[in-house]
Chains A and B, each alone.
Chain A
């Protein structure tokens, strides 16, 4: 049941200097389906893979609009993401009311980072079990931030979180140099290709399981769901992972390197 004596709460360090509850929270992100984000000089894009608990059930929402210039994609515990996104909406609203200014992306990201960090330092609390990709545009241009339950936030040119996201990350790492000058359409397609690479072998991108959001300079945050993504999937062409049989190799590499994380098929949680 317990790995050791040092994971009963989020305030106790292990002798190796680790806080296990925080690490478990980071694992919760990997249980969630994949989400990908990327930015160009003019746009920020989020794409995410939705899951339904069962065939007859609806799909879990993966992208939440915060304001007209800002939105998040989540991987992990959706209820925790609701708490954080509601808080971000409040921050956004009070920035508009008090300063007549859309909240700067870095500020609202740092605000949720502070909230998350507090949970790692108080007995009786637990870390948030969700990772977020925050995409938005402010006066300093388009931005993409990754939020982790540890309270860490980092800005990225392209990032992927959630189950099998290493494959998406590999795609981003191979193509990121093209992102800054990519057009709106190219950027979305890069995102969809990265997401496609994270699919399991027997899965494909469909209008039911893809969520997509675009925000740009002079373009309001817009979430595309269901039939609205049909055109994008058509432009994408193949909706199955292009990695095919290479999937096994790729999965083996990080597993051998880190000894943890989403190595191999044993960690598959696409159900």
Chain B
């Protein structure tokens, strides 16, 4: 008998020839997401006195190619919550069409009067994101969760590492650089949320979408907006779909210097 445990229970090499170990190995290496492929750009969101406004444009880019122009990147989860995703679109579709759909079905199937609100959905998503990063197979997204919770507006974000962050004004992707400073002019801190009206919040987010379209080369002029508004424990979610940017002005483009075929 062979003294090596590896050989036990195997056909004898001297009779049948050496065992072909390649049969035990999978034919392909493990495929983990190494980089996003088809991507969505910024999601922008702002709290106001009585709710949250959240918006994302409808473009899915394949690299720098504007590949799909009808890709909605906001999803309603249950009755209290809207989730917005930027980053990899296929990971977004897994989250929206499989993970969150299953989550809501499982919750409502109990039929016991309990429902997942924004903070519960947010907690679940952040756990999923962190779990996947621990498997070295992250979901390549930044997610914004907007909703109404405990009689207050709720807004928080999580990303491909499972990092959690919350603020009265949030934006992902390019918007984190470009939109957040604009939104913070309107809403510098949590206290100022009380002073912002629904109209003011919508206007501020619309403005951000416009500025993002001016300067973000992966954006488009058609976007989706959801307004989650609440009073005590009643919630209403208004959807504005396929909204086109209004009153664009490209005059500023003449002033841009530094690249292109210009004579400075």
Contact = CB atoms under 8 A, between A and B. Distances in A.
Interface of A: 97-101, 104, 106-107, 138-140
A106 B112 CA distance: 7
B5 interface: no
Nearest to A104: B114
B114 A100 contact: no
Nearest to A138: B114
Contact of A99 (B110, B112, B124): B124
A101 B120 contact: yes
Main secondary structure of the interface of B (DSSP, over half): helix
B123 A107 contact: no
A104 B112 contact: yes
B116 interface: yes
Contact of A97 (B112, B114, B122, B127): B127
List the 7 closest pairs (A to B, CB-CB), nearest first.
A100-B123, A99-B120, A104-B114, A106-B112, A140-B113, A101-B120, A99-B123
Interface of B: 110, 112-114, 116, 119-120, 122-124, 127
Contacts of B112: 104, 106-107, 140
B116 A99 contact: yes
A135 to B, nearest CB: 17
Contacts of A106: 110, 112, 114
Contact of B120 (A100, A107, A138, A140): A100
A195 B153 CA distance: 46
Contacts of A97: 127
Contact of A98 (B110, B114, B119, B127): B127
Contacts of A138: 114
Main secondary structure of the interface of A (DSSP, over half): mixed
B123 A140 contact: no
A121 to B, nearest CB: 22
Given A99-B120, A101-B120, A107 B127 contact: no
Given A97-B127, A101-B120, 20 more contacts: A98-B123, A98-B124, A98-B127, A99-B116, A99-B120, A99-B124, A100-B119, A100-B122, A101-B123, A104-B112, A106-B110, A106-B112, A106-B114, A107-B110, A107-B114, A138-B114, A139-B114, A140-B112, A140-B113, A140-B114
A148 to B, nearest CB: 19
B166 to A, nearest CB: 12
Contacts of B123: 98-101
Contacts of B119: 100-101
Nearest to A103: B114
Q: Name which of A98, A99, A104, A106 has the most chain B CB atoms within 10 A of its CB.
A: A99
Nearest to A101: B120
Nearest to B121: A99
Contacts of B127: 97-98
Nearest to A140: B113
24 contacts: A97-B127, A98-B123, A98-B124, A98-B127, A99-B120, A99-B123, A100-B119, A100-B122, A100-B123, A101-B119, A101-B120, A101-B123, A104-B112, A106-B110, A106-B112, A106-B114, A107-B110, A107-B112, A107-B114, A138-B114, A139-B114, A140-B112, A140-B113, A140-B114
A224 B114 CA distance: 30
Q: Name which of A97, A100, A139 has the most chain B CB atoms within 10 A of its CB.
A: A100
A139 B116 CA distance: 11
B62 to A, nearest CB: 34
Contacts of A99: 116, 120, 123-124
Nearest to A139: B114
A227 B263 CA distance: 91
A107 B111 CA distance: 10
A47 to B, nearest CB: 27
A97 B120 CA distance: 10
A98 B126 CA distance: 9
Contacts of B110: 106-107
